[in-house]
């Protein structure tokens, strides 16, 4: 199985060394093995785990949410699978709510933009 130094993992993922240290500190990733000279050595599984974390971040998951998800993945029972499915469902609902709010904002801005030059800006009607 391949092994990687921290700088190699950081370069592969496009993150800083401090990010990896921070993930260790807060427990999102386990502390890696160390060489005789105390360099951190990451496994292929560590790399896959970090890629999954990066993907979750890109999908809008907070570090707290990622920490919860990673904790669930450490255990292998059906209850945790159900909790994980629930967590994903909650994130989907949150995204749907954000999309709805952004669509409302878009509508407000479109209306106010079409009324520029009138006595009262259309945007002010939505705020008051």
pLDDT > 70? residue 114: no
pLDDT > 70? residue 77: no
78 vs 80: CA distance, rounded Å = 5
Which H or E run contains 4?
strand 3-5
pLDDT > 90? residue 80: no
What pTM value is reported for the model?
0.69
pLDDT > 90? residue 108: no
The pLDDT mean for the chain works out to 83
Residues in Cβ contact with 103 at an 8 Å cutoff, skipping those fewer than 6 apart: none
65-90 mean pLDDT: 75
Residues in Cβ contact with 12 at an 8 Å cutoff, skipping those fewer than 6 apart: 4, 47
């Amino acid at each position: 199985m391949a092994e990687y130094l921290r700088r190699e993992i950081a370069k592969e993922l496009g993150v800083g060394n401090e990010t990896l240290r921070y993930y260790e500190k807060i427990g999102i990733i386990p502390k890696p093995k160390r060489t005789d000279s105390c360099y951190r050595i990451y496994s292929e599984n560590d790399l896959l785990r970090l890629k999954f974390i990066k993907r979750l971040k890109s999908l809008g998951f907070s570090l707290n949410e990622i920490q919860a998800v990673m904790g669930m993945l450490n255990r292998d029972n059906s209850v945790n699978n159900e909790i994980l499915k629930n967590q994903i469902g909650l994130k989907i609902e949150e995204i749907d709510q954000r999309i709805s709010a952004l669509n409302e904002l878009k509508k407000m801005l479109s209306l106010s933009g079409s009324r520029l030059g009138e006595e009262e800006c259309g945007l002010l009607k939505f705020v008051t």
